[in-house]
Amino acid sequence: MGEIALLGLEFYGHHGVMPEEGRLGARFVVDLWLSVPFEGKGDRLEETVDYAAVYALVEEAVRHRRFYLIEALADYLAEELLRAFPRLQAVRVRVHKPHAPIPGVFRDVYAETQKSRT
């Protein structure tokens, strides 16, 4: 089994519990780790997962859907990636919210989930 990583996908979205988060929006960063069988495969796009299509799926969800919790967004992305890409055996999704409305100094907040085919 091989792993493909797409790290630091940045989008502007409107996720969060606070009304101003839905109204004003903020930057979100998504990291993905995709488990795909490499062994014995050829050198054709049809034999793997198309990174551009993965990016488009994530972009659509982060930019055009609304989630109150980044946990829910991470879970949605994992489910949708497994549904959309049959060659994908497992996925780990991390959604960062670097400008979360927390009254204090912090570097990052993220939610992470991992799912695999059953």
Catalytic residues: 97
Give counts: helices (H), strands (E), the chain.
Answer: 3, 4
Q: Is 20 within 8 Å of 1 (Cβ atoms)? A: no
Tokens for 82, please give them.
């497994």
Q: Is 1 within 8 Å of 38 (Cβ atoms)? A: yes
Give how far the C-alpha of residue 1 lies from the chain's centroid of Cα atoms, to the nearest Å. Answer: 20
How far is residue 33's CA from residue 5's CA, in Å, rounded to a whole number? 4
